[in-house]
Each structure stands twice: as C-alpha cells, then as structure tokens.
Chain A
Amino acid sequence: MTSGVESQRRSPDADLPAALRVRSLDVTFTGRRGTVPAVRGVDLDIAAGEVLVLLGESGSGKSVTARAVMGLLDPGGVRVSSEQIRVAGHDLTSADPEQVRKLRGQTMALVFQDALSALNPVLSIGDQLGEVFRLHRGLSRRAARTEAAELLRLVGIPAPDRRVRDYPHQFSGGMRQRILIAMAVALGPRLLIADEPTTALDVTVQAQILQLVDRLRRELGMGVLLITHDLGVAAEIADRVAVMYAGRIVETGTVAEVLDGPAHPYTAALLRSVPDLAQPGDRLRPIPGSPPNLLALPTGCAFHPRCDRVTEECTVTRPERRPLAVPGRTAACHHAEEAVDAPV
C-alpha cells in the first residue's frame, strides 16, 4: 500500500529490492474449540537495512506473523493465505515448501526468544554454527569451524577460537542470544526476523543485544523485523513501527511519529500505561479490561470495549486500515485524525 514511498523515504539502500513485502496475510488456526483468526489482513514493508518493530501484546499475532513469513507454521490445523509474500525479491506465495526451506537461512533467518531451547545442548557451538556452512555451502568440518569462529567474533564473543569448542550451557543468556544471532546472519540473509530477542534478558544485556542488531543491519544491509511488546525497544532501535492488536495491524508510521502522535487509541493507551522514569509520581493510566479473546472477538473494532474514544460506529463497523495525511502513516480507527492531534 505504501511501500514505494516508504522505502524511498527511509532506506539507506534504496536500489536493493525490499527485504520484505507482505500483502493481506491471514492465518487461521482450527481446533476443537473453534477457529481462531490469529492474523488478519497483515501488510508489511521492510526496506533493505531498515528495522521495522512489530509491537503488540501476547496473543496479538506478532509471532504467528513471523512464523507465517518464514513458512514455519505446522500445516496441520492451520490455514495461511496471502496475496503476496516477497522476501528480497523471492516470491514465497507460489513457492513450494522445498524452495522455502532453501530460502530459510540463506535469504531470511529467524532468531527466537528462548536461546537455550533453540540450541542443541549436546553439540558444541562450533558444530552448530558450522552445520549452516556444511549444509548450505558444502564446507568441510574444519573449514566450517573456522567460519564459525569468525562469526562469533562478528557478534562480539571474546576469545572466539577457544569458545567455538564450548557447549551451550557454558554460555550466559546474553552470549547464547549472540550465538543465535550469529547463526541467523551466518549466510548473510536479506531479512532477519527477531522474535522478542531480548525479553528474557536483563536490561544491561538487552542494551548490548540491541546495539549488536543495529550494527549488523548497518554492516550487512539486512532488513530487520523485530517483534516486541516493549515500547522502549521500539524507541531504541526502530525506524518504523507497526502496532498489532487482536491479529490486525492497527497503526503504522515512523517510530517518532507513532510515539509523538499515536493515531490509534490503543497505541496511545499503551504509551500512557508505561511508567516514565523521567516523570515519576503520576498515577499510571492502565488500559481497562483484558486483552481480547480471539475466539470471541468484539463486534466492530476489536478494541472498542477498552477504548476511550469509542462511539456507536465503532461497535458496529470494523475500521479498515487507511492512509493518513502524513505519507507512510496508516491507522485502523474511525477517530484516527482526532487521536493524532490529541496530546498524548
């Protein structure tokens, strides 16, 4: 919808094909308790070298979106459909599973939240990292290990030549997350998807990991889709932000635009509910009610039962996401214009 404008406006590498372009992604889970519309009508655009932060609470569909793009959703019990998914020029919509498998690692890579369970405890780090090179590049074990050490150096692990022989349990949480990132960027992917990469980490280590991701996207020119529930992470690293609620993107814009003038009442409420270190003492203003149940979504706008701008219309008609006056900004709210102009 807006990718052309945005990639020109934002991208340091405007000539390269967009790292990611998604149109009308739907994901539906079918289970005994009914069908769950986990993701509905998601559009995403990420230029080469750009960081898009996908912001949302648990159950909003962030991780499912990531897995759908990567082709990692288990075919049993889930239906994925989309008009288009393109990763660095490769069309995934029409690709068969084998072609998608080859693109994983090579062209797009995923970093999980839980670094300990994402690593094999009985293989040395060198073997796990090296496996990428042996499988995709056909390198010998020895050559692969050298490459692995080089990767550890790239992600800032001290004494990489020695540590390449160590096992996952010998690394700290932050180091393991670095190793996962190393594994993901091993083959120079055009798109890195990081699913809550710092959620399990302390703030001190989180700051290091975000710096690392930021450096790598510059050095390697990757597009990054970073999934988080933490507004601070977005403020720290995002170029653009897409906010998800109940399976849909409700707002997009540059990070400054969204933080300065949220166009969706949900984003505004989220910003108000987080304590501000610089201005303590005020009462926090929580969002009333609970996150929505996807099995029984409210009529009209899914946010309307918790919204402070709710009107009759919101309870009946679901607002389509539409472009706002500022190029590149979109919002799915009947009252987006009022919301943008309101003081946060």
Chain B
Amino acid sequence: MPPSDHPAGPGPASADPAGSTPVVGTPTALSVSAGPNTSGPLTADSPANGEPLLVATGVRKTYRAGRGLGGRSRVHAVDGVDLTVSAGETLGVVGESGCGKSTLARLLVGLERPDSGQVRYAGLDVGTARGVRRRELRRAVQMVFQDPVASLNPRMPILDVVAEPLDVHRLARGATARRDRVAELLEMVGLSPDMMRRFPHEFSGGQRQRIGIARALATEPRVVVCDEPVSALDVSVQAQVVNLLAELQQRLGIALVFIAHDLGVVRHVSHRVAVMYLGRLAELGPAATVYQDPAHPYTRALLGSVPVRHPRERGRERIVLAGDPPSPVDPPSGCRFHTRCPIAQDVCGRDAPALLVPESDTPTAAGQRLAACHFAGTP
C-alpha cells in the first residue's frame, strides 16, 4: 500500500490506466484488469465481447412489511431498476444496507420474481421461465452467497456439495466422472482435491467461500451473481477471494455481478459500477468515472465517507451525510435522496429524476455514465 500523496476522491491522474499499470504478481493472462489486450483496455465499460447477457428492465419488487396495523405497509426493496451485464464484464453494485442490493441479486438470478418489469437472460424471462427453460437458466446464471457457513450443508462432504449442481443438471455421468469434475473445480478455486471427503466445518472461512464459488462454477454458468462474497472474511483472506473471482472471470469470460458495501473492493474488481439508494439507481457507469468524478451527490457522499488511507488526509474536505437512510417502507417522494442531499431544491421533493447522461458530461468512447439527479454534475 503505497501511501498516496493524492487525496482520495476526484483527483489523481488520467482515467483508468490501460496497459500502463504494472501488473504485480504472475504476469499471465489471468492477471486482473489492465492486461495488455489487442482491442484496447478491458477496464472500460465495453469489455472484450460486450454482448449483454442479462438485461433488467424496470424491475420492481416490494415485500409485505411485518404484521403491523392492517399489514398493508410494503417495503419498496427495488423500485424500477434498469441495467445490463455483459459477457466478460464485472458489474459492481454498491449502496448502504437496505438499499435493495441483495434483492436485486435475487431478482437477477430468478430467486425472486419481480412485481413488474423483467429480467431477461438470452431472451428468456428469468422470473417466469418454466420447465426446460428454467433449468437452462439455472445452469447459466449462478449465485455465490455472503455467508459461507450458512450456504453449505454441514452434513454433506465437499464432494457432494460441489457435485449437487452436477447431479441436478445431469452433467456428470458415473461416479468417476463426477469425482473428476469436482476435483477439477476444486483445483480451479485453489483447493486441493484431496479435501473433497471433508465436511464444511473442517474448512476456514476463506476456504468455504472458495467451495461456494466452485459449486457456482460447476454448471459452467455464463453469469455469476456474488452477494457480498467477501464481507464475512478476514481482511487478509478477502484479497485471496477477490483475486480468485477476478482471475476466474477473466479466464472463463463470465459476466460477474459483484455486490458489496465495501467501496474499495468494488472499485478494485469492477468495470462498471451501479450505485443504489433506496431501491433505485443513483448512478451507473464505468468504475473509473464514477469513482473519480461522481456526478450524483449521493455517490460523492458515499465516497467521502470511506475512511482515509493515512492520517495526513484527515482534514480533507468531505461531505458526511447526516442521519441514516430513510425507511424503504415509506420512502421519500420525488428523488429519494432529497431528505439527506446537500444540494436539494424544491423540485427534488416533487419529481423523481430520471437516469440520464449528465449535461456536463462529454460523450466518450469508453462508455457513458448515467446519473439520476436533477443537478447531476453540480459540485
């Protein structure tokens, strides 16, 4: 960690370094981002082969809130989200707790059906597909969960944990083929195949998360949605899993949706970033643009809350948001952020801003950023 002389925030140097970043560690094709690539940087929002695999349009999901008076109140978890995820791309999703990140993850993989709107994978509606198509979807779109303890059956040896998707989708014929495939998957995530007879409790947190990843990869998915995959891990182990995910993504060319509250980790792995606030997208765009030159006041505040890297930065100018996010049961009218926004005007309480290219942005080839703010780009 070279203590940077630059203050965090909008500042240092150019956009994301393409071939200029020295790749630390193994200089193979597996190295994360910034690898020299004939067709240009992988870091922009148009990675290698940018066909959209997963497309969400106007997705909405509400839940009934508790058994309160009349039981009528509803939690507006996700309220009209549009986004796409392309092959070979990592889309990061950040936001405070309760902003709908996890619900969005579950909608994307079809664990929840949206109240309205659609999530489509290769033309199939993820929420309503049935029969053969549903199996096809389940195979193609996989999920890695946050809690590596709760998501593994404690009574199954790792062999069976990882082989379960193979059995369900009949991807391995015969015990030998099954075992060989599991061994291959375990090796892929950096675990020794000798461990396949062991049970989940015999593994450390980081190893269990690797097992969860191996299981997700068993069906050779095209899209993997990771919901807080490293939050439960110790700092020293987090980096191992982050690197593993980035390597696998590059090697297999999968589309990765990486949901986390840790802004540093998301910046590190993502090509594009979606910033969520109370069920809606506040900002969406190439990671470098969103982090270095945030257009939405919420993105700026979120980045301003990240702890400093060094005590000498303590005095830096920053917006510290007052209070907590409002309840998603009864979200504010208009722009949902207006109750905490430092630049809110009357209009913000009335009209919900659309997700648009900010006027101050100049069009770039690297991909456009979108922000949902009446005053996007206003400092």
Q: Which residues of A contact B (CB under 8 A)?
A: 57-58, 172-175, 202-208, 210-211, 229-233, 235-236, 238, 255-256, 259-260, 269-288, 290-291, 343-344
Are A230 and B261 in contact, with the CB atoms below 8 A? no
* CB-nearest residue of chain A to B241: A286
Are A203 and B235 in contact, with the CB atoms below 8 A? no
* CB-nearest residue of chain A to B238: A273
> 25 A-B contacts, Cβ less than 8 Å apart?
A57-B236, A175-B324, A202-B325, A203-B306, A204-B320, A204-B321, A207-B318, A211-B320, A231-B235, A232-B309, A235-B310, A259-B309, A259-B310, A273-B238, A274-B1, A277-B264, A278-B11, A279-B12, A281-B17, A286-B239, A286-B240, A287-B236, A288-B240, A291-B204, A344-B1
Chain B hits for A259, CB < 8 A: 1, 3, 309-311
Which of B263, B287, B324 lies at the interface centre, i.e. has the most chain A CB atoms within 10 A of its CB? B324
Per-residue interface assignment for chain B, residues 168 to 210, with 1 indicating a CB less than 8 Å from any chain A CB and 0 otherwise: 0000000000000000000000000000000000001011000
* CB-nearest residue of chain B to A232: B307
Q: A58-B234, A280-B267, A282-B21 are in contact. Are A290 and B206 (CB under 8 A)?
A: yes
Chain A hits for B267, CB < 8 A: 275, 277, 280
* CB-nearest residue of chain A to B22: A282
Surface stretch bound by A, among B27-35, B131-139, B150-158, B219-227: B27-35
Instruction: Compute how far the CA of A280 lies from the CA of B2 in the bound complex, rounded to whole angstroms.
Output: 12
The 8 Å CB contact of A286, one of B12, B33, B243, B311, is B243
Chain A hits for B263, CB < 8 A: 203, 277
Instruction: Compute how far the CA of A281 lies from the CA of B23 in the bound complex, rounded to whole angstroms.
Output: 8
Are A291 and B264 in contact, with the CB atoms below 8 A? no
Are B4 and A274 in contact, with the CB atoms below 8 A? no
Chain B hits for A279, CB < 8 A: 2, 4, 12
Chain A hits for B261, CB < 8 A: 202-203
The 8 Å CB contact of B309, one of A205, A229, A235, is A235
Chain B hits for A173, CB < 8 A: 97, 324
Chain A hits for B8, CB < 8 A: 277-278
Q: Is B6 an interface residue (CB 8 A)?
A: yes
Per-residue interface assignment for chain B, residues 258 to 290, with 1 indicating a CB less than 8 Å from any chain A CB and 0 otherwise: 000101110110000000000000000001100
Chain A hits for B314, CB < 8 A: 236
The 8 Å CB contact of B1, one of A211, A276, A287, is A276
Q: Is B123 an interface residue (CB 8 A)?
A: no
* CB-nearest residue of chain B to A233: B307
Chain B hits for A236, CB < 8 A: 307-308, 311, 314
Are A343 and B235 in contact, with the CB atoms below 8 A? no
Chain B hits for A276, CB < 8 A: 1-2, 4, 264, 309
Are A283 and B23 in contact, with the CB atoms below 8 A? yes
Are B33 and A281 in contact, with the CB atoms below 8 A? yes
* List of 5 A-B pairs having minimum Cβ-Cβ separation, nearest first: A232-B307, A286-B239, A287-B236, A275-B268, A273-B239
Number of interface residues of B (CB under 8 A): 64
* CB-nearest residue of chain A to B26: A283
Q: A235-B309, A236-B308, A277-B264 are in contact. Are A285 and B239 (CB under 8 A)?
A: yes
Chain B residues 314-361 with CB under 8 Å of chain A are 314, 318, 320-325
Q: A57-B234, A269-B236, A271-B1 are in contact. Are A278 and B312 (CB under 8 A)?
A: no
Chain A hits for B21, CB < 8 A: 281-282
Chain A hits for B324, CB < 8 A: 172-175, 202, 204-205
The 8 Å CB contact of A290, one of B17, B207, B325, is B207
Instruction: Compute how far the CA of A236 lies from the CA of B313 in the bound complex, rounded to whole angstroms.
Output: 8
Instruction: Compute how far the CA of A275 lies from the CA of B33 in the bound complex, rounded to whole angstroms.
Output: 14
Q: Is B365 an interface residue (CB 8 A)?
A: no
Instruction: Compute how far the CA of A256 lies from the CA of B307 in the bound complex, rounded to whole angstroms.
Output: 15
Are B234 and A229 in contact, with the CB atoms below 8 A? yes
Instruction: Compute how far the CA of A271 lies from the CA of B264 in the bound complex, rounded to whole angstroms.
Output: 13
* CB-nearest residue of chain B to A261: B3
Q: A203-B261, A281-B34, A344-B3 are in contact. Are A270 and B236 (CB under 8 A)?
A: yes
* CB-nearest residue of chain B to A272: B1
Chain A hits for B301, CB < 8 A: 204
Q: Is B68 an interface residue (CB 8 A)?
A: no
* CB-nearest residue of chain A to B304: A207
Chain A hits for B2, CB < 8 A: 276, 279, 343-344
Chain A hits for B16, CB < 8 A: 280-281
Instruction: Give min CB distance, A33 to chain B, whole Å.
Output: 13
Q: Is B69 an interface residue (CB 8 A)?
A: no
Are B3 and A260 in contact, with the CB atoms below 8 A? yes
Chain B hits for A275, CB < 8 A: 239, 242, 264-265, 267-268
The 8 Å CB contact of A207, one of B17, B22, B240, B305, is B305
* CB-nearest residue of chain A to B244: A286
Instruction: Compute how far the CA of A284 lies from the CA of B34 in the bound complex, rounded to whole angstroms.
Output: 13
